[in-house]
Amino acid sequence: MRKLAVLGLMGMFGFCAQSSAQTPAQAPAKPKATPPSKAGTGAKTGTSAARPYDRALLRPSLLKEKAPETFQVKFTTTRGDFVVIVSRAWAPIGADRFYNLVKHHFYDNASFFRVIPGFVVQFGLSAYPPVSAAWEKANLQDEPVTQSNKRGFLTYAKTSQPNSRSTQVFINLKDNDSLDRQGFAPFGYVDAEGMKVVDMLYDQYGDTDQEQISKVGKPYLDSKFPKLDSIKTTTLVVAAPPAPKPK
């Protein structure tokens, strides 16, 4: 697996990159002193039923649609629902990628595979190995950091290498301002109400084997880490343009 490490503070905060199937893009590695974790309330039972994936996901080069200037994504998860609000002006390249992934349901049935209490929630490895393999080398160009990594802000995982963002993203569980100068560019956020759900995601496993996630998919996590929360569906919400004024 081509594991993407993050140097310096990135080394402290490293985010994993996709493997041979999809080198799990890495976000900051957990701090040396991990804050006290909080147990999730009411762990879910059973596993998600596999859903057929959109075959358009097997051809990343074709998913290049420009995102609206603002849009929302409703995440329906095993812990509850929350909404991500995306502003394209913050990070246009990242917003466009996220829009296309959500539109074609890339994140559906995927797990929150890395939840570090008091730090970040990371997701974005597909539940389906063929999809992971297709996105292995579909990296994005870097772009300027225009917003700070505040609590609730959504950012792509990456490494110290240039242009290493792909499909993995993380939600900041606290203000992680130190990530700003390392090139982690937020492109959206979860509001305060939604963060109540994010804060409840199961966080007792720490890191998982991203190479196995990429190679085996959701069944690996369901068998080895059965309490992990996951995304049931994502729903794209684009505000309708204002109606034209009558002449």
Domain ranges of the chain: 9-29+68-237
> pLDDT digit string (tens) for 111-148?
999 999 999 999 999 999 999 999 999 999 999 999 99
Bridge-based pairing state of the strands 153-156 and 169-172? antiparallel
What is the residue whose two structure tokens read 């996630």?
Answer: 213
Q: Using 50, 70 and 90 to split pLDDT, how confident is the model at 238?
A: confident
Contact 22, 212 (CB under 8 A): no
Which one is predicted more confidently, 48 or 173? 173
Query: Residue 206 phi/psi, 5° resolution?
Result: 75, -135
Name 76's Cβ contacts closer than 8 Å, sequence gap at least 6: 231, 232, 233, 234, 235
pLDDT for position 31: 52
Q: How many residues does the chain have?
A: 247
Identify the CATH assignment for 9-29+68-237 out of 2.40.100.10, 3.40.50.720, 3.40.50.300, 2.30.29.30. 2.40.100.10
> pLDDT digit string (tens) for 171-226?
999 999 999 999 999 999 999 999 999 999 999 999 999 999 999 999 999 999 99
In whole angstroms, what is the distance from residue 98 CA to residue 21 CA?
A: 20
In whole angstroms, what is the distance from residue 70 CA to residue 188 CA?
A: 9
